């Protein structure tokens, strides 16, 4: 009897200790997914405008162009966060000249449904925060950001990131996705500067995704952005006839058609900027006048691995690339520019690449843009 009582007490003590230990053990910390992109270059400028600033000699420099650090982690059931920092060299006078850190992406994502509207396989996700804008992130999944910004960003259509809300629908059977956004419109490098918002939608279709050939990577992406910007005379004052509360047109639209394969990654892009341009002083003697302006952008690029065309089963580290952007700032007049890239790249491994390329900007049809020509040795590492 004494032995039985002692055994019961011992078992109770063991279970009690285990329960107490369980209560004192903190819950496991959420798993953090950390990744990044680091890229830089050596630059050697040969154009006359650059040499004029250095006594007629070609300027050159080593540069770290960007460091993107990305942190992803769960934030409860069906919810996650993403933070991407943008480390860059700031040259702005009067603020801070040197390396600075700012936010590129900072979002909360919530899975809504795997069968949206009752359609099997139609998944939907909602996002809020600092997000990808409507199409540039999709373009940069084909064009390497380490060699320069996309044609849309270079031509001033909009920034690659902005603050707002978005919904992403993934179509069944790998047929593509639909991405819709409502954003401030000012971009991630500055704060919001007016009351107007940009509403945009992108539809990416992959009609051959289930084929077993290069054509399976073909994507067709029409997109549209509807927005407005505040007038320069929104506050009125002085000799002005009064404040101007209505917004100016700021619409963007385009089509991006692309392939993404090791042997050939390339794209054709056509896009338009439709906007209202103010002139005058908003006074009786110099009234405010709004002129509609539409600007066209045509861009093509290709990254090719020639040796893999000869033997697709043998991976090649060597490739060549070419890009050409033609941008006409106003279709009613003649000024236009051409930006071009020509180079060759070598993969050190699956995560690191070195590229030797020449980039130039040429004036066409009376443009006042300052032309340039730069020889680059680009390097990048994903981690």
Helix (H, G, I), strand (E, B) or coil at 11: helix
Helix (H, G, I), strand (E, B) or coil at 319: strand
Over residues 264-273, mean pLDDT:
98
144-173 burial, b if ≥16 CB within 10 A, otherwise e? bbbbbebbbbbbebbbbbbbbebbbbbbee
Considering the chain, what percentage of its residues have pLDDT values greater than 70? 91
Over residues 196-212, mean pLDDT:
95
DSSP state string for 102-155 = EEEEEEEEEEEESSGGG-TT-EEEEEEEEEE-SSHHHHTTTS-GGG---HHHHT
Over residues 291-310, mean pLDDT:
96
Task: Categorize the per-residue pLDDT at 8 as very low, low, confident or very high, splitting at 50, 70 and 90.
Answer: very low
Ranges of each domain in the chain: 32-382
Fold topology of 32-382: Porin (2.40.160)
Distance CA 337, CA 341 (A): 14
DSSP state string for 143-198 = S-GGG---HHHHTTS--SEEEEEEEEEEPGGG-EEEEEEEE-SS-TTS---SS--E
Task: Categorize the per-residue pLDDT at 30 as very low, low, confident or very high, splitting at 50, 70 and 90.
Answer: low
Task: Name the more confident of 290 and 12.
Answer: 290
Structure tokens at 140: 């940069």
Distance CA 280, CA 47 (A): 36
Q: Is 178 left (phi over 0), alpha (psi -120 to 50) or beta?
A: beta
Contact 186, 169 (CB under 8 A): no
Mean pLDDT of the chain: 91
Over residues 109-132, mean pLDDT:
96
Distance CA 51, CA 19 (A): 76
Q: What pLDDT is stored for residue 14 in this prediction?
A: 45
Over residues 350-379, mean pLDDT:
94
The answer, yes or no, to whether residue 70 has pLDDT greater than 90, is yes
Q: What pLDDT is stored for residue 9 in this prediction?
A: 47
The answer, yes or no, to whether residue 200 has pLDDT greater than 60, is yes
Over residues 11-20, mean pLDDT:
49
DSSP 52: G
């Amino acid at each position: 009897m004494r032995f039985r009582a002692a055994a019961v007490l011992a078992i109770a003590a063991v279970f009690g200790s285990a329960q107490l230990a369980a209560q004192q053990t903190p819950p496991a910390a959420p798993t953090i997914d950390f990744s990044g992109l680091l890229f830089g270059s050596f630059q050697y400028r040969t154009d006359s405008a650059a040499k004029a600033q250095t006594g007629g000699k070609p300027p050159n420099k080593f540069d770290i162009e960007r460091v993107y650090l990305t942190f992803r982690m769960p934030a409860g059931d069906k919810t996650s966060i993403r933070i991407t920092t943008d480390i860059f060299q700031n040259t702005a006078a009067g603020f801070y000249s040197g390396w600075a850190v700012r936010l590129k992406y900072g979002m909360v994502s919530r899975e809504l449904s795997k069968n949206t509207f009752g359609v099997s396989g139609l998944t939907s996700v909602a996002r809020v925060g600092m997000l990808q804008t409507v199409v540039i992130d999709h373009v940069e999944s084909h064009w390497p950001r380490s060699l320069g910004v996309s044609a849309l960003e270079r031509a001033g259509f909009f920034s690659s990131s902005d603050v707002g809300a978005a919904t992403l629908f993934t179509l069944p059977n790998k047929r593509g996705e639909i991405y819709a956004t409502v954003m401030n419109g000012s971009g991630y490098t500055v704060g919001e500067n007016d009351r107007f918002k940009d509403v945009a939608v992108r539809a990416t279709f992959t009609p051959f995704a289930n084929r077993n050939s290069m054509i399976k990577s073909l994507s067709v992406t029409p997109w549209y952005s509807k927005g407005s910007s505040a007038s320069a005379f929104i506050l009125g004052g002085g000799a002005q006839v009064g404040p101007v509360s209505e917004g100016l047109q700021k619409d963007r639209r385009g089509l991006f058609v692309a392939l993404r394969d090791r042997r050939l990654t390339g794209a054709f892009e056509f896009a338009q900027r439709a906007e209202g341009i103010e002139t005058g002083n908003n006074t009786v003697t110099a009234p405010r006048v709004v002129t509609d302006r539409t600007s066209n952008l045509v861009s093509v690029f290709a990254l090719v691995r020639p040796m893999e065309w000869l033997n697709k089963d043998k991976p090649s580290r060597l490739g060549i690339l070419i890009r050409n952007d033609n941008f006409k700032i106003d279709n009613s007049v003649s000024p236009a520019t051409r930006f071009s890239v020509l180079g060759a790249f070598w993969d050190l491994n699956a995560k690191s690449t070195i590229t030797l390329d020449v980039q130039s900007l040429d004036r066409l049809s009376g443009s006042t843009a300052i032309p340039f020509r730069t020889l680059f040795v680009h390097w990048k590492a994903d981690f």
